[in-house]
Amino acid sequence: MREKLEKIKLESTTELENVNTLQQLEELRIKYLGKKGELTQVLRGMGALSTEERPIVGQFANEIRDYINEKIEHTEYCLKRRELENRLRNEFIDVTMPSKKKELGNKHPITKVLDEVKEIFVGMGFSIVEGPEIEKVYYNFDALNHNKFHPARDMQDTFYITEDLLLRTQTSPVQVRTMEKMSPPIRIIAPGRVYRADEIDATHSPMFHQIEGLVIDKGITMANLKGTLDVFAKKLYGDNVKTKFRPHHFPFTEPSAEVDCSCVACSGAGCRVCKGSGWIEVLGAGMVHPNVLRNCGIDPEVYSGFAFGMGLDRIVMLKYDIDDLRLMFENDKRFLSQF
Ligand code: PHE
């Protein structure tokens, strides 16, 4: 029996010294000290011993139990400490390390200029409205007095979705939507994306931005249109900028004009930006055609109005001297972070 106890002591010592986890430790505790454990088994067999032997072996067995107990406690303490040290090492934060920089974004140049344009028009009493980019053929063409054979309807210029649905080619359909919903006086601008089946190059993109303007009231004349756009150009580009109206044709305005600004780069002297002419085309405009007013349930005998549509991207390019439209849609941070 003594030998058995010696063996238990020896074995438990090596096993306990090789324990790596608290789980393993618990298994060993059960193995030696549990109800069916090896040491318990020995103690149970003590009845077979002689009266002289019993107290001696009993004492020895108790010593071994205390020894194993102590060894388990010590191992548990070591394992827990090791675990804590590991955790502390893993969670260590070096406060002297340089921090990760949070990069702050900035507004896209188109958004910046659009904000400016909005502010100018809001200052003149306009409100801002929006319309859908997926538009009915009716709003994009028919209601705007485009006849059935107008070249802009051609498949080559327009992205059709179905026979009645398209990606709007201009913001002008918002004129119609607005006049259907509101009664005069109306004073709105409607910025947004428009789409045309153009090849991509330095001045063309199948998606670009326009800002539509519409004013309807009693007694609105071409003079109001010219005054409004002249104030707008001066607020945007500076007091020295001049505007010029050239006769043009749009189906939904009559008379119609294309409006030029004196070149912001050379003040009209002629340069690379204005291709030597001293003028830059910035928008189309005109007096709202009586047919359009009628299509929207507004009596052209009582009301009149003007409309204009400008290309926002071009205004941005002029303002920041950007020479390639593609830069604005490539999302290259090196470009975008300059504004
Ligand atoms: N919608 C026209 C275009 O895209 C511009 C325009 C708007 C002209 C309003 C006159 C009045 O070219």
Using alpha carbons, select from 176, 195, 83 the residue that is nearest to residue 129. 176
Q: What is the pLDDT of residue 306?
A: 98
Share of the chain above pLDDT 90, in %: 60
Mutate to test the pocket of ligand 1, among 135, 196, 204, 252 (most ligand atoms within 8 A of CB): 252
Distance 338 CA to ligand 1 centre (A): 31
Q: What is the pLDDT of residue 288?
A: 98
Asked if 239 and 273 count as a contact pair (C-beta separation under 8 A), the reply is no
Q: pLDDT tens digit string along 56-96?
A: 888 888 888 888 889 899 999 999 998 899 889 888 888 88
Residue nearest to atom 4 of ligand 1 (CA): 170
Which ligand 1 atom minimizes the distance to the CA of 256? 10
Contacts of 310 (CB under 8 A, 6+ apart): 210, 211, 213, 282, 283, 284
Q: What ranges make up the beta strands (E) of the chain?
A: 127-128, 134-136, 165-167, 186-195, 207-217, 243-250, 253-262, 279-288, 304-311
Q: Distance (Å, rounded) from C-alpha 93 to C-alpha 91?
A: 6
Q: Is pLDDT larger for residue 242 or for residue 58?
A: 242
Using alpha carbons, select from 290, 294, 293, 270 the residue that is nearest to residue 280. 270
Six token digits for residue 64: 């071994």
Q: Distance (Å, rounded) from C-alpha 198 to C-alpha 320?
A: 24
CA dist list (Å): 203 to 61, 165, 318, 328: 97, 27, 12, 11
Q: Is pLDDT larger for residue 27 or for residue 150?
A: 27
Q: pLDDT tens digit string along 123-153?
A: 999 999 999 999 999 999 999 999 887 777 7
Asked if 213 and 188 count as a contact pair (C-beta separation under 8 A), the reply is yes
Which ligand 1 atom minimizes the distance to the CA of 306? 11
Report residue 15's pLDDT band, with 50, 70 and 90 as the boundaries: confident
Asked if 4 and 42 count as a contact pair (C-beta separation under 8 A), the reply is yes
Which ligand 1 atom minimizes the distance to the CA of 283? 5
Asked if 179 and 293 count as a contact pair (C-beta separation under 8 A), the reply is yes
Distance 27 CA to ligand 1 centre (A): 85
Q: What is the pLDDT of residue 151?
A: 75
Q: pLDDT tens digit string along 175-221?
A: 999 999 999 999 999 999 999 999 999 889 999 999 999 999 999 99
Q: How many CB atoms lie within 10 A of CB 319?
A: 15
Q: What is the pLDDT of residue 259?
A: 96
pTM value is 0.71
Which ligand 1 atom minimizes the distance to the CA of 175? 9
Considering Cα of 285, then 291, then 296, then 301, what sign does the dihedral take?
positive
Q: Distance (Å, rounded) from C-alpha 51 to C-alpha 271?
A: 123
Q: What is the pLDDT of residue 39?
A: 82
Q: Measuring from each residue's beta carbon to the nearest atom of ligand 1, which residues come in under 6 Å? A: 170, 172, 250, 253, 284-286, 307-309
Contacts of 212 (CB under 8 A, 6+ apart): 170, 171, 172, 174, 175, 189, 190, 191, 307, 308, 309
The whole-number average pLDDT for the span 158-166 is 94
pLDDT at 272 over 90: no
| 109 exposure class (CB count in 10 Å sphere: 0-12, 13-18, 19+) | buried
Q: What is the pLDDT of residue 60?
A: 85
Q: How many CB atoms lie within 10 A of CB 180?
A: 14
Q: pLDDT tens digit string along 290-333?
A: 999 999 999 999 999 999 999 999 999 988 989 899 999 999 99
